[in-house]
Amino acid sequence: MNLTSEIKALGVEIAEQARQRTKPQDEAPPPTEEVSCVSEARSQLHDADAFLKAVNETLDEFADDLNRHPRLTALAALGIGLAAGVVIGYQAR
């Protein structure tokens, strides 16, 4: 059995398993409490004050590691800058 036939056999097997795992139609809707928590989290996602508070808490938590590893500090700064850009861009709309 060569590589191509193995890949085709795996493709057929995966497709068959996917057909067997169809979702049942009688699933219950998510609880309203969970839905309200998700919507609250989404509204806080683009709140600049909540974002800055979370960033400050995270940086305080990892301050020792950031002091010891300058590359980690640079990656953290890049990530914070990208996330800040998303938050600011969302608010500018």
pLDDT of res. 12: 82
- Transcribe 42-80 into DSSP letters: HHHHT-HHHHHHHHHHHHHHTHHHHHH-HHHHHHHHHHH
H helix count then E strand count, the chain: 5, 0
| Tens digits of pLDDT across the chain (93 residues) | 677 777 788 788 878 877 887 655 556 565 556 556 656 655 655 677 888 888 888 888 888 888 888 888 888 889 889 988 888 887 777
